Amino acid sequence: MAEVEEVQPPKNEVPLTQSNSEPAAGPSGKKRPGQEKASETAKKSRSLFSQVFGTLKKAKEENASEPTEAVRKRREIDARIYGKINRDVNLVRRQEEAKRDRHSALRKEEELAIKDEV
């Protein structure tokens, strides 16, 4: 029979049993240059993201604590409008009461006139 020779990987290759969680190393044991740049870029991205997120969070807290100029003006306008509406409602209510009073006074006068005729 033919003898089977064992094949071994060359010494400069990384063994296939290396886990994915470990960084890939070249023949000299160093990380690949592209991976170093990628990890640095990822760190920078995370740092920038956290800075932007912090800035937005701070702005949101400031906006929640004190109203802006536009909000303040809108509130003033709303207060003036509601004040005018209340004055108008009260005016109409007084006019209707005066009209009812005049109407009831006329009715009483008519009743008295009818009683005097009888």
Domain boundaries in the chain? 52-117
Cβ within 8 Å of residue 24, ≥6 positions away: 14, 18, 31, 32, 35
Rounded to a whole number, what is the distance in angstroms from the first to the last CA of the chain?
A: 149
Can you give the pTM of this predicted structure? Answer: 0.38
pLDDT digits (tens, 9 = 90+) for 31-83: 666 667 777 887 778 888 888 888 888 888 877 777 778 888 999 999 999 99
| Torsion over CA: 99, 101, 102, 106 (sign) | positive
Annotate 5-26 with DSSP letters as a single string. PPP---TTSPPTT--TTSPPB-
Alpha-carbon gap, residue 32 to 25, rounded angstroms: 6
pLDDT higher at 85 or 60: 85
Bigger pLDDT: 100 vs 20: 100
- What are 95-116's pLDDT values in tens digits? 999 999 999 999 999 998 888 8
Q: How far apart are CA 105 and CA 99, in angstroms?
A: 10
Does 84 score more than 80 pLDDT?
yes
Residue 28 has pLDDT above 70, yes or no: no
